[in-house]
Amino acid sequence: MFNSIWEDVKREFNYGNMVTRIIIMNVGAFVILNLVWIIAMIGNERNLPEWFNTFQQFFMVSSDWFHDLTHPWVLISYMFLHFGFWHILWNMLFLYWFGRIVGDFIGNQRILPLYLLGGLSGALLYFISANLNFLPPNSGSYMLGASASVMAIVVAAGAISPDYVIRLLFLGDVKLKYLVAVLLFLDLLGVAGMNNTGGHFAHLGGAIFGYIFVRQLREGNDLAVPINNFIDMMSNWFVSLFKAKARKKKGPRVVYKNTEKANRPKTKRTRGASSRGNNKSDNRSHQERLDEILDKIKQSGYDSLTDSEKEFLFNASKK
């Protein structure tokens, strides 16, 4: 059963859109963090040990500049980390609803940069508000969650298509601009309150960036381009690194060239013979054909595949 679940997750991550991938990463981090919590509670007689808080804070952004400076990864890791069930549930639902709208209007390739930059903007406004003493004394000095990133996507969706209609339970059809306005108003109320004030500042930071992102895009400045270029550069670097390690493990290859076959005179082939040769090539180069299909999905999407290519990909996934 678990192997089947794992295969489904891998397939969705490899072939799903960016919203699906981000949700999978958030859920994966949520499961790991809560498994560590279970181990911590059971191993300490149902009392939360101090080391768990230290472990959790290792991935959380802080209002303390020294912690953030010595833990630079927290600027990214905090926006994929949740501890409470309702926290992650609502964040992922809003990400799914509004992320699909943003992806449909401005492209799937802009979802991750918007998510990351919105989260960074939220962390920045949280840090500024905490160090300017805008937070109540009982506020914590650490923050986690995707709320700032999600608010960036929510506001971006509202800025792109304010009259887009969403059907809500018990309310019926509601225009996107009104829903976004209500969410922003709730965060403004949260800033003035005493509960999760720092989190609401972060939400507003993400919301501000979501609006700036769409505004800049309309003026011809795509803020997603440098982020995507950096991600592509790092991905290519990791791929080349792993390939280099694989070559070292395999050792040198000996290449044998059949000179007799190379010097053999070419003969004219009939159309039928050529067709049979192509079939043999397809059978022989299974990995090459799989790579071509995956490249086609990356460039044009899964729907661009022919029926035979979809069948081939389905059979390959079973192996």
Backbone φ/ψ region at 81: left (φ over 0), alpha (ψ -120 to 50), beta: beta
> In the CATH hierarchy, which top-level class contains the domain 2-222?
mainly alpha
| Residue 187 in tokens | 């965060």
Beta bridge partners of 174: 166
Asked if 153 and 146 touch (Cβ cutoff 8 Å), the reply is: no
Q: How confident is the model at residue 40 (pLDDT cuts 50, 70, 90)?
A: very high
> What is the spatial distance between Cα 238 and Cα 279, in angstroms, rounded to a whole number?
35
Q: How confident is the model at residue 138 (pLDDT cuts 50, 70, 90)?
A: low
Burial profile 52-77: b = 16 or more Cβ within 10 angstroms, e = fewer = beeebbebbbbbeeebbeebeebbeb
Least Cα distance to 142 among 78, 193, 91 occurs for 78
- Tens digits of per-residue pLDDT, 83-112? 999 999 999 999 999 999 999 999 999 999
Least Cα distance to 58 among 142, 132, 151, 139 occurs for 142
Mean pLDDT of 257-273: 48
- Tens digits of per-residue pLDDT, 187-233? 999 888 777 888 899 999 999 999 999 999 999 999 999 999 999 99
Sequence letter at residue 177: K
Note the helical H segments in the chain: 2-15, 18-43, 50-57, 65-70, 74-77, 85-106, 111-131, 147-160, 176-192, 197-218, 224-250, 259-262, 271-284, 286-300, 307-317
**Mean pLDDT lowest for which of 38-42, 134-138, 145-149?**
134-138
Rg of the chain over Cα atoms, rounded to whole angstroms, equals 25
**Mean pLDDT lowest for which of 112-121, 149-158, 275-284?**
275-284
Sequence letter at residue 279: N
The pLDDT assigned to 263 comes to 52
The pLDDT assigned to 280 comes to 41
Over 70: is that where the pLDDT of 38 sits?
yes
Q: How confident is the model at residue 281 (pLDDT cuts 50, 70, 90)?
A: very low
- Tens digits of per-residue pLDDT, 282-319? 444 677 787 787 777 767 766 677 878 777 776 776 55
Asked if 295 and 15 touch (Cβ cutoff 8 Å), the reply is: no
Over 50: is that where the pLDDT of 276 sits?
no
Beta bridge partners of 62: 142
The pLDDT assigned to 246 comes to 66
Asked if 91 and 145 touch (Cβ cutoff 8 Å), the reply is: yes
Q: How confident is the model at residue 44 (pLDDT cuts 50, 70, 90)?
A: confident
Chain-wide mean pLDDT for the chain? Answer: 84
Domain map (residue ranges) of the chain:
2-222
The pLDDT assigned to 19 comes to 96
Q: What single string gives the DSSP state of each residue in 159-188?
A: HH-TT-EEEETTTEEEEHHHHHHHHHHHHH
DSSP tag of 60? S
